[in-house]
A = this chain, B = another copy of it.
């Protein structure tokens, strides 16, 4: 099967929203994410339903069918593998790859993506810490604990980011917040929920609660 660029973009959007907010996915949520108008979304939903990629009831939102979910997962696999390629092989920074991968994910060729996967040595996570589905669509769930869920004195390793905007990622770079860093919460300011963190041997840094809610971590048991 082959789908158009627009159809693929819609499938991915529906998948992403369903993943975060659950089903059913509303027309306006899709319009919002895709920077388009609800009326346009409705038009496309009818086409996707026609092709049995989504289940759609007028006025009641949509959910992906098995086929639709499968295709969306493949798109995500492609997107994330290309991001790995751009960062690991071509030396891009993690804040520069999203838009290029948005284009590359539409390239049609099963073989291509399987060979790319092998070439990259079958990575399990992309440069933002998002899990990469395998050829069958299965993937290992990432730790879903946010830095904002932890308390004072707890230690953790940064394993992923929820927000992918380049300004946000550059901000993390400038503060030494890269995937894999080991951090400890020194203090949580009562006024606005900002966090003071210790990163390795550096001076402590201060981040807002809003930033903390964008960071996935794996907790390290505090020894002793």
Contact surface of A with B, Cβ cutoff 8 Å = 86, 89-92, 96, 99-100, 103-104, 106-109, 111-112, 115-116, 119
A192 to B104, CA, bound (A): 48
Identical copies of this chain, number: 2
A106 to B104, CA, bound (A): 10
A198 to B20, CA, bound (A): 66
Give the top 3 A-B pairs by smallest Cβ distance, nearest first: A90-B115, A103-B107, A100-B109
- Whether A108 contacts B103 in the complex (CB less than 8 A), given A89-B119, A119-B89, comes out as yes
Are B104 and A90 in touch, CB under 8 angstroms? no
Are A90 and B109 in touch, CB under 8 angstroms? no
Chain B residues, Cβ within 8 Å of A91: 115
Are B115 and A107 in touch, CB under 8 angstroms? no
Are A107 and B109 in touch, CB under 8 angstroms? no
Are B112 and A107 in touch, CB under 8 angstroms? no
